[in-house]
Chain A
Amino acid sequence: MENLKISSKDIAYNLVHLPQLVFEVTDACNLRCKYCGYADLYEGYDKRENLKFPFHKAKLLIDYLHVLWQENECGGVVEPVSIGFYGGEPLLNVPFIEEVIAYLEGLPPVGKKFHYNMTTNAMLLDKYMDFLVEKEFRLLISLDGDKEGQGYRVDAAGRNSFDRVFANICLLRDRYPEYFDKFVMFNSVLHNKNSVESIFHFIKNTFGKEPSISPLNNSGIRKDKVEEFQRTYRNYAQSIREATNCEALKTEMFIKEPGTKLLLDYIYNESGNVYYTFNHLLNSSKHLSYSPPTGTCTPFSKKMFVTVKGRILQCERINHEFALGYISDKGVELDWDKAAQQHNGYVFRYERQCRSCAHRKACSQCVYQIDDIQEETTKCNSYCSDKQAEQMNTYCMAYLDRHPELYRRILKEVVVRG
């Protein structure tokens, strides 16, 4: 596996082709969601300090990347770069967002096309929607369903945010229907005050959109909060089984339904019938870009996330201890060699398990999500023996037998992007 280790060259390549740059615009929020990553259920995140990302640091980072992009520009090639604004609640620091966008758009072209995205709780949508629409922001609105479902998204005084959020979303839809249709999506957190069915139907019937629904993040729970977490947690598959008309809901949800999603993964990874690109199909493996052991992305191959304090991470979903560099007042401190070594160090901790794991060719386990990664005895709990894999195959084929049209539909209708 030695040859699968990454080097500073891979880091450089990823930075030159960086697909996403995400700023943690502020750690402040105008809501106090009970299950938020900043809330006290979780360990390992910075305490909320109501900080705002200083523009001069963003400028240092953009300049750093711009030099790399300029040096590697190639005629006719225009790569998309998605600029993400993440929070806290990003709309609490709109001046920063405006400055970043104005700065990016004022730079000499280097073969990159920027587009913008944001996840928001929609509390301030009424105030900023004109700007968001003008810049064609891809907007992901957090809404946990109807008023009852939204019950954990409360303001500082503990009041349910539903009425205000709902009114704002309706205003956006009515004022900018085309934009709403094209650029707005929803995500919802599943917990004990809602259900997959209630969320899915409320958002679909009200806004004509299918939400992404995720259960509570179960990694990094504080040991003294485990019981509270378990009370709040609701299992996704079980919630679907409890629906009034479970089969109809499954059909409607298509690949958002976990059984169909498993089948999709099985078809993509095991059937040998799915290829992403011409190169993947031709698969002279020497050609294929580096494919790491474990399902962990190599730093910056998917995105770069910068925290409000200037720490540079490879994504927002991982603990800040995995920072690869930072932005000081003088510039970007990012040692490519060190970053590569740090990444190799973590990923290769599981080498022995990976060697015999049935998931090794199509693993989706990010090692940074393994709770005890820093312990000597750390193990990957997603390890899959050949026997388990066989059972999974049997399960998938039996599922397909009950829904035979899914094979054709998955081949024809589904697109999976990393």
Chain B
Amino acid sequence: MNTMKKYWLVLSPDTFIWLKGENGLLYQSVNHTQVPFKNVGTIKSLAGQLDDIDNLYRVELTEEMLQQPEVNGWVRQIVDKQCGRLLENNGTGNRPASMKPVLKLQDGVKYYEWLHRQGIDGCVIQNLHEVVFYLNGSASGDDVLHRQLVYPSTTDAVADREKVIRFVKESKVSPFLSKLSLAGNLLVFPHLEEMAEELQAICPVKLYITVEDALNGLPQLKEWADKLSVQILVNDFPSLEMLLDANGWCAGLQFTLVVTSVQTYEAATGIINKYGLEHVELVPAYTGENLPFFEDCIYPDAGELAGVSLSKKDIFIRQTLNVTDFGKLYIEPDGKVYANLDNAPLGMIDDSPHDLVYKELTEGHSWLHIRDQEPCRECVYQWLCPSPSNYERVIGRPDLCKMAMGNEA
């Protein structure tokens, strides 16, 4: 009679298992611990069985297996980090079971396509959450920054105010529309305030203006800031200091400080401390010449990846959609509409928001752009890393990550 003890190893329903060739990773999404491992030998076979959804996240282990040092160490880590449990299999049929964290998104793009074929599309527009209107360009605009964050370009084109209003009215059918952004040299856009107030009645409006433009119309800016939310875009720090010196007030203003090097980072934090600035975000940007700084900013290193604290839902979101782009449309002064300014336009401002949203969801490359390309596809950190960003597009090279292909696993 075989009296060898048997066990069940069962993973917790909050633990993800990712297997990529010889690398494996367990990630516990409640206590945020990780168990990286070599996916070889007995462990490979056990991990493979755990990964099979029909096995209900459990696998049978024999005493003999548990005596193998690698398996033992692996199981101990799993238990210690609460990624799973080890139970004696006493043959009573009381097997443990768990539901592997696999997302079911019931009504995704396929459902929208199905509805579309029936001639009904009502709910697609609900995915529109934010529209960014560039009303004009600015002498202090920057065409490279324009592709990376909300920042005016240098164009001479000017948006058609009636079309902007019509577009917003047609968008408001989305109960999820929660932000309208107006960007450009707003001080010279005719009747800006009237328009912003009309739009504000539909959905909260935010104005984006460069610090250089802001300096040309401080009294006007103060009036706006009393009624609307205003974001000052700063790529030129001396101008920011001028604004802060010239101005007893900055309550109600929010700031985006563009950081392109270690020096600009230090300058930015210096100003924040000196003036006690609140409501500030520091945004790294690529200038075409700062690749090393930039790589450090966008690609996570081993330490950052080990410290990730994402919930199960956060991971499902990263597996499904682009966290930065999803739900946003950008409209240039010439009327071209984009889901992301680095991709081809989806259509024109004269098109219905509904049709544009449908097009992006079914044919576009932005809202659903997830980290599923080389080398990330083959990396166990695929879903712990942030959604792919415009920065990666601007640099034009997806393969700069040092972690790629398990270099550090």
A joins B in a complex: yes
Tell me the A residues contacting B by CB distance below 8 Å: 13, 17, 72, 74-80, 113, 267, 271-279, 281-284, 286-287, 289, 397, 400-401, 404-405, 407-408, 410-412, 415-416
B120 near A274: Cβ-Cβ < 8 Å: no
How far apart sit A183 and B71, CA to CA, in the bound complex (Å)?
56
Q: Which B residues, 88 to 145, have Cβ-Cβ distances below 8 Å to chain A?
A: 95, 97, 99-108, 115, 118-123, 125-127, 129
A78 near B121: Cβ-Cβ < 8 Å: yes
A281 near B354: Cβ-Cβ < 8 Å: no
**Does B316 interact with chain A (Cβ within 8 Å)?**
yes
B123 near A75: Cβ-Cβ < 8 Å: no
Which residues of B are found within 8 Å of A416, using beta-carbon distances? 106
**Does B192 interact with chain A (Cβ within 8 Å)?**
no
Which residues of A are found within 8 Å of B97, using beta-carbon distances? 397, 400-401, 404
**Does B221 interact with chain A (Cβ within 8 Å)?**
no
B56 near A401: Cβ-Cβ < 8 Å: yes
9 pairs from A and B in contact (CB 8 Å cutoff): A76-B354, A79-B120, A79-B122, A271-B99, A272-B312, A273-B312, A275-B316, A400-B56, A416-B106
A277 and B107 in contact, given A78-B119, A271-B99, A400-B56 (Cβ under 8 angstroms): yes
Which residues of B are found within 8 Å of A411, using beta-carbon distances? 53, 102, 104
How far apart sit A130 and B79, CA to CA, in the bound complex (Å)?
67
Q: Could you tell me the dominant secondary structure of chain B's interface residues? A: loop
Q: Which one, A80, A273, A281, A287, contacts B101 given CB within 8 A?
A: A273
Given contacts A282-B317, A407-B100, 12 further A-B contacts (CB under 8 A): A76-B170, A77-B121, A77-B173, A78-B119, A79-B122, A272-B13, A272-B101, A273-B103, A276-B106, A401-B56, A404-B55, A410-B104
Which residues of A are found within 8 Å of B54, using beta-carbon distances? 404-405, 407-408
**Does B31 interact with chain A (Cβ within 8 Å)?**
no
- A138 to chain B minimum Cβ distance, whole angstroms, is 12
How far apart sit A247 and B170, CA to CA, in the bound complex (Å)?
53
Tell me the B residues contacting A by CB distance below 8 Å: 13, 53-56, 95, 97, 99-108, 115, 118-123, 125-127, 129, 169-170, 172-173, 175-176, 178, 312-313, 316-317, 320-321, 326-327, 351-355, 358
- A166 to chain B minimum Cβ distance, whole angstroms, is 32
How far apart sit A407 and B57, CA to CA, in the bound complex (Å)?
11
Which residues of A are found within 8 Å of B106, using beta-carbon distances? 274-277, 415-416
A275 and B352 in contact, given A74-B125, A75-B170, A287-B176 (Cβ under 8 angstroms): no
- B354 to chain A minimum Cβ distance, whole angstroms, is 4
A74 near B354: Cβ-Cβ < 8 Å: yes
How far apart sit A76 and B171, CA to CA, in the bound complex (Å)?
11
How far apart sit A263 and B26, CA to CA, in the bound complex (Å)?
27
A75 and B354 in contact, given A113-B120, A279-B176 (Cβ under 8 angstroms): yes
Which residues of A are found within 8 Å of B173, using beta-carbon distances? 72, 74, 77
A275 near B103: Cβ-Cβ < 8 Å: yes
Q: Which one, B101, B105, B115, B353, contacts A76 given CB within 8 A?
A: B353
Which residues of B are found within 8 Å of A279, using beta-carbon distances? 126-127, 176
Which residues of A are found within 8 Å of B115, using beta-carbon distances? 80
How far apart sit A272 and B30, CA to CA, in the bound complex (Å)?
13
A274 near B56: Cβ-Cβ < 8 Å: no
Which residues of B are found within 8 Å of A274, using beta-carbon distances? 103-104, 106
Chain B residue at minimal CB-CB distance from A282: B317
Which residues of A are found within 8 Å of B53, using beta-carbon distances? 407-408, 411
A113 near B119: Cβ-Cβ < 8 Å: yes
Which residues of A are found within 8 Å of B355, using beta-carbon distances? 76
Which residues of B are found within 8 Å of A277, using beta-carbon distances? 105-107, 123, 126
How far apart sit A379 and B105, CA to CA, in the bound complex (Å)?
35
Q: Which one, A17, A281, A410, contacts B316 given CB within 8 A?
A: A281
Which residues of B are found within 8 Å of A283, using beta-carbon distances? 313
A275 and B125 in contact, given A75-B354, A113-B119 (Cβ under 8 angstroms): no
A278 near B108: Cβ-Cβ < 8 Å: yes
Which residues of A are found within 8 Å of B316, using beta-carbon distances? 273, 275, 281
Chain A residue at minimal CB-CB distance from B354: A76
B99 near A78: Cβ-Cβ < 8 Å: no
Most buried by B among A80, A272, A278, A397: A278
Which residues of A are found within 8 Å of B99, using beta-carbon distances? 267, 271, 273, 400, 407
Most buried by A among B97, B127, B312: B97
How far apart sit A245 and B354, CA to CA, in the bound complex (Å)?
51
Which residues of B are found within 8 Å of A17, using beta-carbon distances? 122
Q: Which one, B56, B172, B326, contacts A278 given CB within 8 A?
A: B326
- B313 to chain A minimum Cβ distance, whole angstroms, is 7
How far apart sit A405 and B129, CA to CA, in the bound complex (Å)?
38
- A356 to chain B minimum Cβ distance, whole angstroms, is 24
A80 near B118: Cβ-Cβ < 8 Å: yes
B178 near A287: Cβ-Cβ < 8 Å: yes
Chain A residue at minimal CB-CB distance from B108: A278
